[in-house]
C-alpha cells in the first residue's frame, strides 16, 4: 500500500481510530473489532506495551488494513515503526525531523499542531494531514473553522473532544477527518469484549461523517 493509497483511504473514510490500551491483548482485540466494524484504519499508539511488534504482526496478518503508529515522539521510534511496516506516523506535536524521515521513506505522516504557526510549519514540512490537537480545549469545531479560513488547502484532522455530539460539527467546520479514541473504542467495551457495541459506534460515526459531508452547510 503506497503513501497515496493511505492518504486516499484516510480522506475517504474520514476517521482515524486511536487504539490506546494497557495490554497488547486488548489492543489486538480493539483493532479487530474496529476493522470488522467497517473502519479499516487504526492508529496504534506507542504507549501500548509491545506496540511496534504488534504493528509488524498486523501488517503481516491484515495487509488490507491501514496500520499506523501513534504518539511517535522521536526519530528513533519513527524508524522502528517504519521498520515494522507502519503505513503512517502520527504525533501529538510537530517534529519536522519525523516528517522528513517519513517523507524520505515515502510513508504518510500526520504531525500534531495547535497554533496557526504550527499548522503552517507542519504543512510546509510536508505533512499529509495536520492533526489539530487538542481541539476541545481551544474551541472545538469553531477553532477548526477559524483555521480553515487562512489554510483552506490544508487537510486538518480534528483530535481531542470528538464524540457523538461534536463529530458532525467538526466536519461542517472543514475537518478532513476525525481522530477518535475512547468515544469510538471505549475501554469498558474492550475489557468486556463487547464487539457489537464497538460495531454500533463505528456505524454511527461513519454515518455522521457521511451525512455531514453530504450537507456541508449543516442543513
Side-chain-facing half-sphere of 212: CA atoms under 13 Å: 24
State residue 83's pLDDT score: 98
**Would you give the distance in Å from CA 32 to the centre of its chain?**
16
**CA distances from residue 47 to 7, 60, 119, 198, 215 in whole angstroms, order as listed:** 24, 21, 25, 21, 37
Share of the chain above pLDDT 90, in %: 96
For residue 40, the 8-state DSSP code is -
Q: Does pLDDT of 96 surpass 90?
A: yes
pLDDT digits (tens, 9 = 90+) for 176-206: 999 999 999 999 999 999 999 999 999 999 9
pTM exceeds cut of 0.75: yes
Q: Which domains does the chain have, with CATH numbers?
A: 3-212 (3.20.20.70)
- The conformation of residue 179, written as its DSSP 8-state character, comes to E
Element (H, E) at 216: none
- Please give the grid coordinates belonging to residue 185: 473504542
- Contact between 58 and 65 under an 8 Å Cβ cutoff? The reply is yes
Amino acid at each position: 500500500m503506497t503513501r497515496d493509497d493511505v492518504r486516499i483511504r484516510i480522506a475517504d473514510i474520514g476517521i482515524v481510530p486511536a487504539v490506546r490500551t494497557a495490554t497488547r491483548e486488548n489492543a489486538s482485540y480493539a483493532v479487530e473489532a474496529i476493522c470488522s466494524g467497517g473502519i479499516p484504519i487504526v492508529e496504534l499508539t506507542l504507549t501500548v506495551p509491545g506496540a511496534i511488534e504488534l504493528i509488524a504482526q498486523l501488517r503481516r496478518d491484515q495487509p488490507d488494513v491501514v496500520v499506523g503508529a501513534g504518539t511517535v515522539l522521536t526519530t528513533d521510534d519513527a524508524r522502528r515503526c517504519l521498520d515494522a511496516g507502519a503505513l503512517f506516523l502520527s504525533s501529538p506535536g510537530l517534529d519536522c525531523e519525523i516528517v522528513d524521515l517519513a517523507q524520505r521513506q515515502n510513508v504518510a505522516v500526520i504531525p500534531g499542531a495547535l497554533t496557526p504557526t504550527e499548522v503552517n510549519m507542519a504543512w510546509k514540512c510536508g505533512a499529509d494531514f495536520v492533526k489539530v490537537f487538542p481541539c476541545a480545549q481551544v474551541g472545538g469545531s469553531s477553532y477548526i473553522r477559524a483555521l480553515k479560513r487562512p489554510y483552506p488547502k490544508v487537510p486538518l484532522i480534528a483530535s481531542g473532544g470528538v464524540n457523538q455530539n461534536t463529530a458532525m460539527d467538526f466536519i461542517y467546520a472543514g475537518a478532513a477527518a476525525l481522530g477518535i479514541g475512547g468515544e469510538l473504542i471505549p475501554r469498558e467495551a474492550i475489557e468486556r469484549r463487547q464487539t457489537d457495541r464497538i460495531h454500533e459506534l463505528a456505524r454511527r460515526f461513519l454515518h455522521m461523517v457521511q451525512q455531514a459531508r453530504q450537507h456541508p452547510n449543516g442543513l
